[in-house]
Every structure is written in C-alpha cells, then in structure tokens.
C-alpha cells in the first residue's frame, strides 16, 4: 500500500497531491543519495513520502495532524523505515534534529503557513543542506524575484540573502485533491555558507529589510527614517531616493552592516 484516503482538512489548508507525473518530478528533484537525512514537512497521505521511502529506505516526517499518523505508519510497513514527529513544524528544532548531519528538507507546504516555515528554516540554515518545497506559485515567484520586479519584496531579500533560490516547475490545480484555486510550483533552496552570507547582525538585517519594504511606495530615506541615517544609506553606496524594490540583496546586506554613527 503506498498511500491512503483521508479527507483533507480545510482548517489545516490541506491539498493532497495525487498526480503521479508531478510526484515523480518532485522525487527526481530531490534525488536522494545514500546517507542523506531526508525530512518531510507535512506528509499528508504520503504521496511524496512513500516514493521517497521506496527510493531511500528511511525518512523522518513532521506531521501536525494526529489523524494521519497511524495510517502513515501502517502504510509504511514493508516499504521502509518511517519516523514521525508529531509536532507543529515551527516548534521543531532542525539543529537538534540534524545533530552532526545536515538535513534535506522536502514538503508540500500548507498555503497558510508557507512564509513562517521558510523563515523558520533559514534560522536553522547551518543544519540544512537543501530544501525542495512545493508552494503556491505566487509565493515561489516572490521567493525567486529579481530587484525591479513587481513581486520583489521582503521574502525575496530574506531568502536570497541566506539561500540560492531556484524555481523548478509549475504544478497545476488538477494535480491535487481538492484542487486549489491557484497554481503551485516547486522550488529548490540551497543555504549559502555562513562566510558567503556576510551578515554581521542577523536581527539588524531583518529589521532593515522589514522597514524598507514596510511602505513600498516610500523612498529609502523615508521608509528607513527610524532605522538608518541618510549617512548610512549613502555609505552603503545607495541613493536615499531609491525605493526598496530597486535595491539588490547584497546592497541590503551592506546597508545593515554599516556601523552606527554614534
């Protein structure tokens, strides 16, 4: 048995992937190798879980919905070694879970929680080798957006500062049960090495990016008036009359790294 039927729960934003073609494309994108520590976020009915388990032999899954745990464990018998952590993924310490290893995360992320899960993952980037996630296409577009694009924003800068982000392929609504009202897409995120990231103070960086995009129509001078001085903006090589969506990720890092004038 490779998966089971369970009614999707609207309250948890569940849309179960059922189309074999896209399931196989995701498994190929992950391409598990011997020794990999695979961790799946939200296995649902096991659409990706069991093909990965058959390929790799073992997998850890994080599942919040108690009703799915026993059916998943039963369906895994004879397929491979499945370990289930019954928790909200935002409460899972990936560093502790990884130990000496680095994790490879995979998952069809619930639409209503995708940004918090992504931010949670980048906090533990040192313990993660890569991530292959399916999300709303509109979120993936924002994650991978370039400066100057209409959808380039806080999510783009925060993720690209810590990871290489690639949009891999689109998954249409008909691949799911029930079909969502929007297209989905699969993205790969590969965390950068700490010395490549070059951010001196992570909280300061997050504050600068949040303030810069807080009011999109404002110039840096106005949007950052409580966060950075005009001198700091100019010292980072930026014009104070630019808007946040025109500023590349590396320039945001430069800006956040500027010493205090005091």
pLDDT tens digits along 200-226:
999 999 999 999 999 878 999 999 999
The answer as to CATH 3.40.50.20 being correct for domain 202-256 is no
Euclidean distance between CA atoms 68 and 48, whole angstroms: 14
Model confidence at 251: pLDDT above 80? yes
Extract the annotated binding site. 15, 17, 42, 63, 88, 108
Instruction: Cis check for the bond before 178: say yes or no (omega within 30 of 0).
Output: yes
DSSP letter at 35 equals T
Phi and psi at residue 69, to the nearest 5°: -70, -50
Domain 10-197 has CATH 3.30.420.40: no
Residue 12 pLDDT grade (very low, low, confident, very high; cuts 50, 70, 90) = very low
Of 262, 223, 200, 226, whose CA–CA distance to 238 is shortest?
A: 223
Q: What is the pLDDT of residue 1?
A: 40
pLDDT classification of 142: cutoffs 50, 70, 90 = very high
Separation CA 55–CA 31 (nearest Å)? 9
pLDDT of 110: 83
pLDDT in tens, 171-203: 999 999 889 899 999 999 999 998 999 999 999
Cβ atoms 52, 58 nearer than 8 A:
no
DSSP-derived secondary structure for 198-242: --S-HHHHHHHHHHHHHSTTSBHHHHTTTT--HHHHHHTT--TT-
In whole angstroms, give the CA distance from residue 199 to residue 130.
20
Give per-residue pLDDT as tens, 35-61: 999 999 999 889 999 999 999 999 999
- Between CA 61 and CA 83 the distance in angstroms is 6
- More reliable by pLDDT, 262 or 260: 260
Confidence at residue 15, expressed as pLDDT on a 0 to 100 scale: 74
Residue 136's SS3 state is: strand
Predicted pLDDT at 260: 84
Q: What percent of the chain has pLDDT over 90?
A: 87
Q: Residue ranges for the binding site for S-adenosyl-L-methionine?
A: 15, 17, 42, 63, 88, 108
Going from N- to C-terminal start, the domains of the chain cover 10-197, 202-256
Cβ contacts of residue 234 below 8 Å, gap of 6+?
A: 240
Q: What are 60-89's pLDDT values in tens digits?
A: 999 998 999 999 999 999 999 999 999 999
pLDDT at residue 52 in the model: 98
Q: Tell me the C-alpha to C-alpha distance, in Å, between residue 88 and each of 12, 84, 94, 171.
A: 11, 12, 12, 25
Q: What is the mean pLDDT of the chain?
A: 93
pTM of the shown model:
0.92
Q: CB neighbours of 154 closer than 8 A, spacing ≥ 6?
A: 209, 210, 213
């Amino acid at each position: 048995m490779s998966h089971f039927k369970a009614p999707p729960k609207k309250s948890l934003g569940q849309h179960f992937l059922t189309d074999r073609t896209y399931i196989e494309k995701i498994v190929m994108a992950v391409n598990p190798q011997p020794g990999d520590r695979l961790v799946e976020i939200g296995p649902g009915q096991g659409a990706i879980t069991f093909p990965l388990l058959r390929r790799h032999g073992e997998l850890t899954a994080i599942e919040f919905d108690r009703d799915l745990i026993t059916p998943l464990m039963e369906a895994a018998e004879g397929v491979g070694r499945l370990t289930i952590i019954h928790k909200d993924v935002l409460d899972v310490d990936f560093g502790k879970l990884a130990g000496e290893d680095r994790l490879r995360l995979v998952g069809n992320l619930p639409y209503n929680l995708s940004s918090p899960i992504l931010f949670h993952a980048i906090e533990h980037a040192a313990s993660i080798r890569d991530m292959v996630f399916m999300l709303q296409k509109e979120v993936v577009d924002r994650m991978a957006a370039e400066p100057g694009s209409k959808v380039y924003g806080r999510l783009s800068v925060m993720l690209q500062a810590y990871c290489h982000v690639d949009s891999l392929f689109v998954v249409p609504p008909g691949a799911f049960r029930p079909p969502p009202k929007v297209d989905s897409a699969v993205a790969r995120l590969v965390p950068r090495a700490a010395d490549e990231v070059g951010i001196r103070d992570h909280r300061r960086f997050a504050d600068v990016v949040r303030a810069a995009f807080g009011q999109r129509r404002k110039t840096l001078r106005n949007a950052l008036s409580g966060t950075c001085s005009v001198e700091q903006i100019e010292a980072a090589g930026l014009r104070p009359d630019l808007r946040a969506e025109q500023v590349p990720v590396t320039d945001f890092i430069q800006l956040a790294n500027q010493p205090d004038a005091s």
